Each structure stands twice: as C-alpha cells, then as structure tokens.
Structure 1
Amino acid sequence: MNLNERSSAILDALLSNPSISSALMEKKFDLSKRQLGYSIHKINSWLEHIGLPLIERTSQGHFLIDEKVFTALNHVKETAEQKHSSILTVRQRTHLLLCMLISKDYLSLDHFSIALRISRNTILRDLKNLEKQLEPFHLHIRYSRKHGYYMEGNEFQLRKALMSALMELLETDDGLPELMDVLELEKDCVDAFRNRIEMVEKKLSIKFTDEKMKTMPITLFLILERIRKGECLADSPIRYKELAGTKEYQAAEELLFDQQGLPEAEKLFITLHLLSANVITANLESEDTIPNLFPAVDSMLSLFEKVSCIRVQERKQLLDKLMQHIKPAYYRIKYNLTDTTPVPGVLSGEFRSLHQLVKRSLDPLKSFIQSEIPENEQVYITLLIGGWIRQQGESIREKVKAIVVCPQGVSVSKLMFHELSGLFPEFVFLDSMSVREFITYDLDYDIVFSPVLLETSKKLFLTKTMLDTHEKRLLRKQVLTYIHGFVSKEVRTSDIMQIIRNHATVKNKQALEQELQAYLSEVDQHVVRTTLEEAQPLELSDFLMNQHVKMTYQTESWEEAVRSCAGILLDKGIIEDRYIDAMIKSSEKDPYIVIGNGIAIPHASPEDGVVRTGMSLLKIKNGVQYFGHRIHILVVIAAKDKKEHIHALMQLMKLSKCEEDVKNMINAAGIPEMRRIIHQYSNDAVKEKELYYG
C-alpha cells in the first residue's frame, strides 16, 4: 500500500508544520473540505497499515499527531534523503527539476521534495542553480499561489534547454530510471515511442546513436505533453519550405500518426529533431542531401589538403563519412541546436595541430551555412579527418586491428577511440561504434576495447571511457603481454635528462629536452614515451615545504588558528586577505573539513581570493576545539583550479587515516621531523607509481 502524490505532500506538510489548520491546508493545496478529508482518510489507512497511530482532528480544525509518527517517518525520510542525495548530483537534480517544470502543473516545494526525496531547503538551493543554468536560454522560474512553480520564456528556447538537459542526464545508467520515477512514466509508454523511432530508422535507412535512442523517446513524450497543455510554438524560426520536402518530414508525420490536428510548426519541430540527430550509419542518396552541401564539403576538404600539404587517400569514402556527420550538423548550426558544453580532453598531441589546419579550412562550409561553425562541431570534423589520415597511413595487413565499442554516444566513443589509438600507435584502429552497430559489424578485427561486456569470439579488453596516466600504462602492459608475450621497454625523456644532469652541466635544458623528444619519436614506434604535455602532479611535500610549516603549543580560538596558518600563504602572495575571512565564515556551518584523527583542512572557493595554488600547515601541540573535535593539525588549502592540488590532497587524506603517523606529527620536536613524515607519504606515492609503471 502506497500513498499517492497529493496525500504524500499533505503528510509531509503536516510533519513540517503540525500546528497548521485545516483551513490553511485547504488553501495551501487548493482543496475542498471533502478532498482534504479524503486525503486524511487515505493517510490514516496507510499509517494503520504500517502500525503507527492515526492523525486526529479537533473541532477547531487542528491536527493531533502522535510523537511516534514524527519519530518513525522523519527517520525514514532522513535515511531516504541521505541515500538518495548520495546517488544524485546537484546537476542531475536540476535536470530532473527542469523536466518536472516542463511536464507537470501546479508544482509546490512539497511536490519537488517528495519526487526527489530531499528536503525543501535543498530544493530551494537546486532551483537557484537551475535558474543560473537557464540564463543562456533566457528562461525563468516563476511562482504564484494559483499556478505554483512554472517556467516562463520562449517555447523554442525551453525545448532546447530540455534536450540539452536530457542528453546530459541520460548519459549515466541511473538517469533513465530516475527520470521515469520522477515523471511517473510507465515503461510501456517509453517503449512505444522507441518502437516508433525504430520504424523511422528503417524508413530513412539510418541508425541513430545509442545516446539519441535514449533521449528521443522521452523528448517526444515531453514535447507532446507540452502541446497537450496548449504550450505550442508561436514564433518558430523553422522554415516550412526548407523542411517540408524531406524524408524526415514524412517520417515525422508517421511518427505522430495518432496526433490529430497537430499544428504545422510542431510537425516541423519534430522534423528538425530527426534531421539534427547524430547517426552512426546512413545511406545518403542525392535527393536526401541538402542542395550544394556536398560541393561545400568537397571544397572544405580540398582546402584542408592545400593548407596541410596532405593528400587524402580514398577521398570519396572520407567525403561520405563527412557528409554523414555534416548533414545533421547543418541543421544544428542553422537553428543553434549545437551542444555548447566543451568536449573534454579530446584534442591533444598531433590532433591539436591538425585542428588548427581544419579550422583554417572551414570557410567554404561557413559561407554555405552563413554561420560560424561552433567549436564542438569543429572538433568532430577534426576527429573524422584525423582518424581517417591515421588509418590510411597504416599497413593494415601487418598490424593488429582493433575496434572501440561504447554505449555512451558518439562523442564519448570518439574520445575513447582517440585515447586508445594514441596509446597503441602500433595497432590499426578501424572504427568506434555503438553496441547496436557492433552486433552487425562485419569487418575483420583482432581485439575490441569496451567499457561494457560484449559477446564476441575475439579478445575483449574492458576499459574505462577516460583513463589517467597510471591506468593507461597498466592497460598497455596487459594488452602487449597478450599480443606479444612481453612489454616494450619504456623510454622517458625525463629519465634521460636526469642521467645527463648527473654527469654534465646543461646550458639549455628546454632545447635539449625538445631535441631528445624529437629523436625518440623517430627511434621506434613501439616505444611509449611520457610526452612533455604529461606534467607530473605535485606531491604533498612540494606544497608543504619548510617555510610553509609552522608549530605552536596552543591558540586561543579556532579563528586564531586559521588566521595563523593562512598567514603563511598571505605573506607569500598566494592568497588575498579576504580568502581568510571566507574560510572562517565557511567553517562556521559544519565540520565537513575535519578529515580524521585531529586533522582539518580549512578552505574556500577560488573566487574568494586565491592567487595561485598553495598549502600551509600549522601544528598545535595542545590542540584547539572545533565542533566537538580536538584539532592538532590544520592544513589550509588554496586551490586555483580543480586539479592541481588533488594529488597532494589524496596523500594528506592517506596520512590522516594512520593514527601512528598523525601521533608522530603531533609529538614531533621540530619541523624537519614533521617534514620527514610528509615526505614519506609523497615518496610512497612515487614508489607505487614506479611499481606499476616499471
């Protein structure tokens, strides 16, 4: 037996404010006396079912709630909120709130709180975050007593925001079930829309990417919900003449066969959605292409060949691949539907240089579309051309052939493809593809890389979509041991430089390192090198140098301790004075900065006055009281970005978990003794790396 949404909201309101009267409750939820009475009856039936006392009402219209009800239900609610908030990120919650605002009517804080299983205060913070996310779309969240929370703004922009949110939300495995739960969607409903889209694939002789097959059914459902509520496109930028004659327009009509009297602007919007969707395979016929698009792409590729001094082999096949991507990109660019979120870590090494040449070659395409090409679309074009050039430069017959299979969409798939082909330059990487495409893939290959288990008779290597340096080297050892029975000896420029410095004076360190790097790149393609771009992370001992460590017997207060520790960084110009105030204010809220065994890490946001990344340590022999903790070691952290300090912070966390070493730090007679312990944790990390990397 479960409570419906309205009864759950009423019960939550009573637990939050038991002194509320019946009259106020009726007004709050826009109910009649009879409707409220029915909901209270439902709540009491549910309470009786779970063995709790019933809620009574006095003749004056007030509620009497037994203490057992508060104790039991608040404990359940807190447990559920803690569990749920650990699953969903703030970003995921804001996306879910957006979907609720777009599809549901008369929403209150209680509705949001029950649907997401978090407190009203958390909902209010999430709504503020969502308001910021919606600024680029010129959309606003409004509230009125009559209508509750609702969205205000241009309908076309609202749908763009929706599609962007769905794309990000459904990237993770738990995104879809969470969304279906929040929107109270039945699986059969989503499956029905998916079946319709698969019919469209057959009609158009295409296959959408896995990520599109995830988002499109939900998108179509929510758009039709908007139309059903009367929220239709008014001033649509979509031109009838451009889209009405396409196969996608006919497919959209078939997709919406049961939607009678659908406005023309809405048919065109669905058509645009189909036209702008990325595909993994497409049989493009001349009548399917946009007039004069092919000559523009051809001219773009010719210009690339000129500026790069590269003659592309099997040019026609590359043009077909470019057309397959650029046709949907044309509609995304024209109607400003391109995702503006940067693709992380895609272009590095040779691809970065290649990207500059591609950018110089885009003028024919820009002239045809009459618009600048967004950076993300440029990146995909670079990946297509760069991957083709690399593939054509290999001797396929003599090489190990590999493919990459990724269920997380075209962008992540291409990112994996680029990362792995760079890690294994001696292999030929044939393709990156979705799981659906892999099932029917008929080219010969030797090994397959994927983040998920696949049914294949060939060798499968399970790997993450993003690998750090440590994971790359472990994977390379594993693969080469399987292929050859041995691992190639790694030659590092940094090692050779150290040997030279041990026996000679180097006049120009940078020039020597660059020459060595250039030489090693020609010696053996089977050698994996640590490139100049792979900056080694700073250790804890790099941050906590002698002059950044301080000792005292006692301090008068927590604030004095923070100011004393932070003064080291202030004197060196690493932070501004306002950063200290921000740390103190932030630490007044709760003791989240205590990381264990008497160690605390006061910090604030970069924008509060961080000039550059740094750390300082203060040891207080007698300790200082803070939120019931006795703190003996303060480490002030000033982080300019999200990466530079992380490696050192992990070493500090490891130190904090060892009672013996923390005790030795507290009892240390001087800074050199403390530094030896700090250095030990830095060295341990280095030893671990050497153990794994060889």
Structure 2
Amino acid sequence: MLNLRQRNIVTYLIEKQQYVTIKELASFFGVSARSIQYDLEKVTDYVTEGGGELNRDKKNGVQLSASDTLKKSFWLQSLKPAYDKHYSPQERHDQILKYLFESFKPMSKNRFSELLYVSRRTIVEDMKGVEKWLRERNLNLAYIQNKGYIIEGSEQSFRQAYVEVISSHHNLENLPDNLTVLTDKEYLEIDGSVKKVLTKLNHHLVQSSKDGLIYHIAITIHRLRNGYQISMPPNELLKLEKEMEFQIAKEIKQEIERNFDISLPMAEIGYITLHLLGAKKATVEDTTDFAEYSLLISTINRFIEKVSLQFGVDLTHDELLKKSLLVHLRPAIYRMQFHLRNKNPLREEIHQRYPDIVAAVSLHIGVIEHEFKVMFNEDEKAYIALHIGSAIERKMEYRDRKIRAVLVCASGVGTSQLLKSRIERFYRDIDVVTVCSVYELQDENLRKNQIDWIISTVSISDIKIPVILVSPFLVKEDRKKIGRKLEIEREKANQSDQAELNLNELLPEKRILWEVEEKDWEESIKKAVNLLERDNIVTDHYLTAILNLFKEKGPYMIIGKGLAMPHAGPKDGVNQPGISFIQLKNPVCFHHPKYDPIRYVVCLATTDAEIHLNALRQLSELLMSKTNMKEIAAGGKTELIRLVNKVSKM
C-alpha cells in the first residue's frame, strides 16, 4: 500500500505527462533524492499491478505511462483529495513542533515518519532544527530511549513558545484543520469573551496582539485541563496588580471561567496581564496610561537626539517618530522585563536595508536600557531601526516639497488676503499654509506645522523662522527679495540631489592618513578636521562646533568599537561635502564606556543634513564587517582604499 507522499508522486507524474527528474521530485516534495528513489520502487510495483508502467531514463528521470482503465479506476481518483498535502521542510518543522507541544508523552521517530510521510532519516535531520529552535526559547528537546522525543522546560517558556508556533502561522479566520488544542467553537467562544471585555473597558489592541491573546488563553485552558499549572513569584504578581491591565485580565478570567467551567489561578491572571502589557497598542492614546510615561517620553527624546547627532540628520522635531517609538517601546519594555518574545519577521530585511541604522540603534539603545533596566534583543532593535529609517526617509522626501509659508499682517485679514492672492499668482513653489495676525504667531505651532518662512507686512522679532518683510501689494522689490530667497533654496535642493554621492567621491586618497600619532581625543579630532580645512571643505569654525558638541553631549560620535565619526551641522562652517579618515598609531581614549580606545577617526562634513547618507551607508558596509576590518588592520591604507572603491559600487 502506498503512503500519502507516494500516492502524491503518482498523481504528480500523471499530471505532468512527461519525464520528471529525481531532483525536481525531491525539491517539490521537500525530501532527499534517496527518499524519492525509495518511493519510486514502491510506486513501480503499485503502478504495474494497476496496468501502468514507470519508465526510467538516466538523463531525463522518470515518466508514468497509465492506461485509460488505470486513470479511471477508483484508487487513482481517490488520490485527488489528498494531493498537495505533502510538507515542505519548513512545514514539517512547524508540524513537529505542534505535535510535540500537544503531546503529553514522548513521540517516536516512527510516529513522526507516519504522520509526515517521510523517512526516519529525514525526521532525524528535521529534529536538529527543532532542537535549535527550542533551545533559543529556553526549552530542551529530550530523547527518551525506546520512547521518543519530548519537550522539557519551565511552564512559562513552554507556553510562550507554544503560542508562538500557533500564532505565527494562523489566525482565527483560518484555523488549521489539525489544531487540536481546542475545538473551533471553543476558540470562537474565547474570541467573543476577549472582545466583550476589551470593548467594555475601551482597551484597543492591534489584531495580531488580540489573536495572540486568544491563543494564550486557549493554551492556558488546554494545559490546566491536563493538570499543568504555571507559577509566578508573589512580588511580581503584587507589582502587576497595580497595572490597569491586571483589572482587564481579571474580567477576562471571569468570562472564561463562566464559559468553560474552569478555575484560573492568580498566576494565570498574572500571565494574561503580562500578555496585555506586552501587546501592541492600536494608538498612541492607549500608551499614556503607562506609569512611567513622562520618563519614557524624555528618554525617547534623548535617544533620538543621540541618533540625530550620529547621522547629522535632525530628527528631534519629528513628532511621528516620537509617537511611533512611544507606541512600540511601552509594550517592548514589558516584553524585555518579563522575557517575552516578539519575533520580527522583517529582521533580516531591515538589517540588509538599514545596516548603519541598526548599528546606531545598538550603539545608543543603552539610553533606554539603562533607564528601564532592560536589555533589548535583536528583534526589538530591528523594529526600532525601522522607525528611525522611516523617519530619515521622510526627512529626505521633505526636501522636495514646496516652501511652506505663513502670511502675517497687523489685522490678520484684509491686507494678508491681498498678499496671499499675489503670492499664489507669482510663485508656484510657495504653499501659503495660513494667514494670521502677528499676535497669533507661536514658535511651537510653527514648528509642528513645518513652516519654512514667514512673509509679513509688519516687522516681527523673537521668532526663530526666517521672516521676509514685504508690502501688501508685493511690489517689484518685494518680488526680487522673495526671488533671491527662492534661488538660495533651489541651490540647497541642488546640493541635496548629491545625496547619492559615493564614498570614494567624498573620501579621496589624499584625505586618508595612516600611523598618525596624537596624544588624546581632542588632538585626534583636530587632525581629522584639519584635513578637511586644508581642502576648503570646512572653515575653522567647524572644529570649534565639534569640540563644543563633545563637551556638551559627551562622545556622541563613537559609533562602534575603536571607531569615531566626529561631525557638526551644515551651518557650522561647511563649504562643501567631504570626509577625512585617519588611523591612529596608538589608540586614544574618547571616554566612551564601551568602545574605547579609538583607533579610527572619520570626520564628516555636509552642506545638507542628508547629503552623506549614501556614503555613510557604504562606509557602514565597510566598517561593520569584521572581515573588512581585519583586512584593513593587516593591509593598511592600501587595503582601505581598495575597499572604499569596492563598497562605492554597492
């Protein structure tokens, strides 16, 4: 009798109606070529008995010849419903985990082989990946002689991993046929209970977090029914009782107990509370109830400031970034405090797209970790890097928009409306956001609305935004004044278009020095800046600005072990973009708690806040690679120049 995969092979060959290679079959069914060869031996006998023939060719593979009688026979027709139920290696991995989590006794290799229609050898190989996955979640895959495999570990780790297995691949609208923890009806009852409580208490979660909570409760019921209880230290439970989410968990408990005739211990309420605390909220308003809300806001501001200083991109006024980080970090802090996982499916993609930003987040995340006494894992860091990357891209897109202006006159009406109509007539590059009186001007509102200019018929002082004084009739001299200002902005935009400059264009060989001897951090920075000053990239004010920043902010420019990137703002004496690179013969102390001493000093100068991002990305590709750094250390200046040219093509 054929097993499921062997019957699927027959169906596959009949539908193909041509030769199929062993390699193609092995790839399609997710098993080894050896397993396919074994299957084909069984298929040959079975097909021959049914009046067909399996033709073999060394070069082309195998082809099935089946008579009409064979095709119409009952056994062949019965193959169709089972077709496409073979498992890929990843699907086998997930199925093995699900079986292990659902089983209360060891499962043998033979049993897995029967369930998944693969050989015992394939199961043994699959178990290596399963064991690694469990180990990463503080669980152990134990093998009991003559009995089989079973998962060992704490009940908390067991349940967290169990929820991850289920929620990673399923949602309530698409429950898998073989998800046997509870019935579909029971899942929907839990769903109704959770929705009822969340709606009643006006507590909003994103759908994925809501689904995760439902699976968490389902597994809780399943484990309690089979005698497995979870424990929580009394002091932790006491701390959780102070949270609003604890009251929500208590109401959910009451609903579940009423619907399932089961008693949930206090520890179970505690873990439901933890799930709620670690869940993603739907809006920023749902985050303001955080006990340390003010502290989190100020810490986020300091974190953004440090990242901004490193990249030379001012993100400190990006309200969307602040709100996004607030929504993400509030539950993330709880997840880290209680060791809850939040798998990031975009992690690898984020690392590839924003390697320099991931490095910057890893460097400065200590600001948040220290304040809240947590350690963020790589999944969480990647999420934070995604928020930073999006903010930087918004900043770059912002350059291409129109000039946003506010029109002001003594009354805020009449003459300003006349001025507005004339500006709209003469200047398509200016977007008049609003018309107001001088008394209505506030720096905070101007900043929030991203206002670039104030065009006014009256004199204005004590405002940080540029003011252009004109007459209500916008006479020729006024138009010349606005025209000159627009030309300056266009020139800046043209310079910004150089943002895709490559590293080798900004860092020529003449600005690379090796075996430089300097006594301290200040002299090292001076040397790097002098290379730029010599080429008229910067004025002497640039060095002063960097030193002042260092004294005010500390070693903000340290971006990795042994690497400093001093820089100031575009308005601090920058004439044109450029980079210098020095290698210190004897590394010096920059007073960084983690990455001292510093051997490499890379000085950046830009005429626009974003202009060096492409070159910096290439520089990060170069310097964040351990292999590259070893080659630079061994090959010196010549090797650095070769690698600079290499990454400049990336």
Q: TM-score range by the shorter chain?
A: 0.3 to 0.5
Q: TM-score, normalised by structure 1?
A: 0.42
The structure with the larger Rg is: 2
**Larger relative contact order (CA 8 Å, sep ≥ 6):** 2
Q: TM-score, normalised by structure 2?
A: 0.44
